[in-house]
Amino acid sequence: PAQIMAAKEDLYAKVTPRRQRQTRPSTVKHGSTLDVLLSMGFPKTRALKALVSTGGKNVQAACDWLFSHVDDPFLDDPLPREYVLYLRPSGPLLQQLSHFWQQSRLSCGKNKAHNIFPHITLCQFFMCADGKVEALSDALQTTVAKWKGRIPLPLPLELYTSSTFIGLFVEEQVAEVLKSFAADFATEAAAKADVHVEPHKKQLHVTLAYHFQTSHLPILEKLAKNVDASSGCDWLAVLFSRDIRFANHETLQVMYPYIPQNDDELELVTGDFIFMSPVEQSSASEGWVYGTSLGTGLSGLLPENYVNRADESDTWVVHGSHSVLNCASPSNSGSTVGGLLFDGQHNDCLFDSLMDPPGIAGLCPPLQVKRPTSQPSLSKMRLFVCRHGERMDVVFGKQWVTQCFDSKGRYIRSNLNMPSSLPARSGGHWDYDKDCPITVFGSTQAHLVGEALLESHTTIDFVYCSPSLRCVQTAQHILQGLQQEAKTKIRVEPGLFEWTKWVSGTCLPTWIPPADLAAANLSVDTTYRPHIPLSKLVVSESYDTYISRSFQVTREILAECKNLGNTVLIVAHASSLEACTRQLQGLSPQNSKDFVQVVRKIPYLGFCACEEMGETGVWQLIDPPILPLTHGPNHSFNWREMLMQD
């Protein structure tokens, strides 16, 4: 409580000088949505806060937010949110910038530009009371309608580089037009919502990179020169907001669920975001951090290895998005759910389940690229690298082997997500301890990927996979979804196994031999001779050895398949997406620390694609032919705990 009170005092000290004079009554236009919340018994201040925090106009989302924030110590505090107006690109230019974002991050790691999606800043951050946000959105819509056809497109952009900054600057005359647009928005905002907006006075630009290592300048500059700034583009005027409490905090995303063991710990829900301030870490011991949940507003200690760094804008909320190309049609005048693409179409987003992870409603959508309409040239070789599906020991814990096998070694499942049967192992069921299978849902994930490849008219000519059972099973289900399991055999390649430093104990897993896999009805090529035999793998290999091994075996696989087929699929581990493709692109390996950070973000069935650039021997990452696969957490449920209580 003392820590919370101190935080509140600090916040109000910062906010009070910046808040605007209340010269006219609060303007509330949420109408029937607000009325419904009020009729449900929610106080007006809470109802408004819920609507604003979820992007507006959706009763279900607002209710979810209120129920999840019932213990939030700031729930009844009249703290305003901070707002900003950006121009966001869409169409071909967005694809160009997205590719630069991806390549620069893979080549040089994250820099400050990656914290926010590509944009042109039109004004400084400003505050607006919750009751006036609807009027503020109306001010933007009015301004855009007024400027219909007056903004010259495409915007002329010129590349500028220095030792610390790379960006695309708007040509001066057009920049003045955009500044006039921003000034008109400021006038409308003052008139309709009684807020003070300060238009951006500096040169207007799209930031590509800044705060990067000096040694990375040549690579970043080369990648930036490949961006075709004249690509067709519609620009969207988008109004965003962020929670003022966490403006200077680091944003983390929860990767794994966590149930608190002590009163000062924070419950973690996969997909939620955590805000962490360096000044709050005095109470955290090594391996732990102190943070606040976006989903609940609660604060506490959490294990550091359960979260990953996220981008600052991942938690921002959208309050209006309008095309400046066709100003008569707003592209999104209400909330937008994370994951939807700004494509110039109106999106009405409904929340159809209370089971969605809290704190996601209305968030700024992550940077995405539309699927290309045409397939790459069939004369070019393509390499797909895919991570295996959901694994048993992660879902059910390392003790699953003890729980699922009786004293005679017979397998008995205790959950619907456990496979109904498992292949017999010559070494006994304890070999599953280091070589686990995938879950039923893991099989479904893989089958979905195969079906998506089939729908995209993709044919896989060769399949290679790690000797881990989870990888072989994943490859099998992908082939089944592709309807190719009868004609395409899986080549089990030990050289594709993950970094052996990550294997616990003093010996490698005992894998099921290809002949036994085939006997268990898996489509395995029993005649295949590996490029790197099992005998060449060693325990606790160095990072350099693992990277060299992965690159070597990938090159040899591609050379083996050249002129025999165009598309090769590798099914292996999260680390394989990085280790098998980075050096193919002519890039140097990352250091081990950055490598681990990249790998931790790759989900089950994470999928990447590479294409050979002619006969040069150089490859480049391309858009996969399938959409990404995302799913939410599903906690264990015991009906007795709910229905048999006294």
DSSP string, 298-365: -EEEEEGGGEEE--GGGG-EEEEEEESSSTTSEEESS---TT----SS--------TTSPTT-TTBPP
Same domain as 302, residue 450: no
- Same domain, yes or no, for 542 and 608? yes
Residue at 445 is within a domain = yes
Average pLDDT for 431-449 = 96
Quick check: 326 and 337 in contact, CB under 8 A? no
* 286 close to 296: Cβ distance less than 8 angstroms: no
Letter string b/e over residues 411-445, b meaning 16 or more CB atoms within 10 A of that residue's CB? bebeeebbbeebbebeeebebbbbbbbbbbbbbbb
Pure H helices in 109-225: 133-146, 172-193, 217-225
262 and 134 in a single domain? The answer is: yes
**pLDDT band at residue 238, thresholds of 50, 70 and 90?**
very high
Per the CB < 8 A criterion, the answer to whether 176 and 372 are in contact is no
Assess whether 457 carries a catalytic annotation.
no
Residues 564 and 613 in one domain: yes
Helix extents (H) in 149-286: 172-193, 217-225
Tokens of 401: 């082997």
Task: Check pLDDT > 50 for residue 493.
Answer: yes
Does some domain include residue 414? no
* 126-128 and 330-332 beta bridge pairing: unpaired
Residue 42, domain extent: 34-69
- pLDDT (0 to 100) of residue 362: 46
23-32, 165-174, 256-265: segment of lowest average pLDDT: 23-32
Round to whole Å and give the CA distance between 442 and 447. 9
* 112 Cβ contact partners less than 8 Å away, ≥ 6 residues apart: 210, 211, 212
H/E element, 167: strand 165-170
Catalytic residue among 30, 69, 387, 470: 387
> Quick one: average pLDDT of 209-224?
92
Catalytic residue among 30, 242, 249, 388: 388
pLDDT mean over 452-478: 96
Same domain, 474 and 594: yes
Contact between 249 and 303 (Cβ < 8 Å):
no
pLDDT in tens, 383-417: 999 999 999 999 998 889 999 999 889 999 999 99
Backbone φ and ψ of 254, nearest 5°: -75, 125
Block residue for tokens 């968030």: 363
Q: Are residues 571 and 462 in the same domain?
A: yes
Known active-site residue 531 = no
Q: Which of 205, 242, 573, 582 is catalytic?
A: 573
Whether residues 133 and 167 fall in one domain? yes
Sign, CA dihedral 509-515-518-524, equals positive
Q: Which residue has the higher pLDDT, 563 or 84?
A: 84
Long-range contacts: 167-175, Cβ < 8 Å, 24+? 167/205, 167/206, 167/207, 167/208, 167/209, 167/210, 168/205, 168/206, 168/208, 168/227, 168/229, 169/203, 169/204, 169/205, 170/120, 170/203, 170/204, 170/205, 175/203, 175/204
Residues 200 and 220 in one domain: yes
Q: Which of 322, 344, 373 is the last residue of a domain?
A: 322
Same domain? 39 vs 130: no
Indicate the number of domains in the chain: 3
- 205 annotated active-site: no
446 shares its domain with 498: yes
Q: For residue 251, tell me if it sits in a domain.
A: yes
**What share of the chain in percent tops pLDDT 90?**
60
What letter would DSSP give residue 70? T
